[in-house]
Amino acid sequence: MKKLPGLAAGIKDKLIQQTLERKLRQAAAPGAKAPARPAEKKADIPQEHYRFHLHPGYQQLRIINDGANKLGVKNPFFKLHEGTAGAGTQIGGADYINYASYNYLNMSGDPVVSAAAKAAIDRYGTSVSASRLVSGERPVHRELEMEIAALYDVDDAVTFVSGHATNVSTIGHLFGPRDLVLHDELIHNSVLQGILLSGACRLRFPHNDWEALDAILHEQRHQFERVLIVLEGIYSMDGDYPDLPRFIEIKQRHRAFLMVDEAHSLGVMGARGYGIREHFGVDGKDVDIWMGTLSKTLAGCGGYIAGETALVEHLKFLAPGFLYSVGMPPSVAAASLAALRRMKELPDRVAALQARGKFFLERAKAAGIDTGTSTGLAVVPAITGSSLKATRLSAVLFKHGINVQPILYPAVPEKTARLRFFMSCMHTEAQIASTVRILAEAM
């Protein structure tokens, strides 16, 4: 609204109000014509701009699906599991050896974990019905977070309702356009989305190559305010891990932050399953941001951030993914808390998982299967070289009672399309030997 010179503020307001009321009366009068609008030129707007079935992404999906149908390849995804999925599962009324679950320590379905979730529902209901900041806090949330903090020997932790959103919201909130985020070239999509949201400059370095990272920082560090380095504890596509002490030394020397995503390494690495920190024997405070998910070893759903008090308080009061989201259901928090305690009580499960992964890797290599850089810790890929071959192999194994999913382009480069085998502490050596034999014959 333009200023009216020479009039007192009260008179200006009165004149503006009178003008608005007069226009409203004129618009409501009988026979009043609607204001003239420019003629809409619908023909000038392509249908793909307002029809979902013409969206380029959906069109690409249709081309892939139609091509697969012509080749007689069925969609291998969205299989309907009819019970708890662990080392075994039931699909379509039939039993399968299952390698498509993150249920590494068999905590999902564990009677103690299930009982904890049921008790939380009886006490707190199925939802906290609000953000935790407003009115959604429950004791079980803090118990879980303090247990996670103790696991890493850091000040505190905070849990989010989504693992993916944990990375997106944390990186997106803490860093900005004057900052730099350096990440391993095989880092998870959630990290990339978080960097995009932050507006920070993004540079990737070759997989697990700490020397390349060091060289980049020597050139670039002085041009930015905050610098974040992001790694994974175990890379979920390849089953290998970084030399964490090397990266810690680099981050300290260049005065950067270090973030480690432990989604697939918690419960898998270390004698007790405490993750990559235990595997290398490093101090928990040497890593600035510990991130992990609750949906794998911890048998729930969501994610966590652990670190110093300032980091956690900052996220709890200001990070949009926590501040504006409903709190985690009490049953989920209780299940993850029980699973974490069970992991501590049952180190034999961790040892069994590590032994089965090692056995699978050794057998696969002996059979001439390309397992890439896998270390046999929970994840073992069988690289096929093409998406079509990976899909067909998945179907062949399914006919033999083995459920394993293909990983296709664009999730991985076409030449590294693969089957991805997730191990469980409950797999037997007989199941693994049979699986490798059938896979080798099919390949």
**Residues labelled catalytic:** 236, 264, 296
Q: Length of the chain, please?
A: 443
Q: What is the DSSP string of 131-183?
A: -IIIII--HHHHHHHHHHHHHHTSSEEEEES-HHHHHHHHHHHH--TT-EEEE
What is the torsion angle, in degrees rounded to the nearest 10, for the CA atoms of residue 322, residue 242, residue 213 and residue 238? -80
Rounded distance between C-alpha atoms, residue 258 and residue 268, angstroms? 21
Tokens of 58: 């959906």
Tokens of 280: 């290398």
Residues 6 or more apart whose CB falls under 8 angstroms from that of 271 comprise 278, 347, 350, 351
Q: Is residue 378 left, alpha or beta, with left meaning phi > 0 and alpha meaning psi from -120 to 50?
A: left
Greatest C-alpha distance within the chain:
93
Contact 273, 350 (CB under 8 A): yes
- Listed residue (249, 52, 264, 290) closest to 167, CA to CA: 290
418-422 sheet: strands from edge to edge: 379-383, 418-422, 405-407
Is the bond into 139 cis (omega within 30 degrees of 0)? no
Strand spans (E) along 322-443: 379-383, 402-403, 405-407, 418-422
Q: Which residues pair with 382 in a beta bridge?
A: 419
Beta strand pairing call for 257-261 and 201-205: unpaired
Give the three-state DSSP class for 93. coil
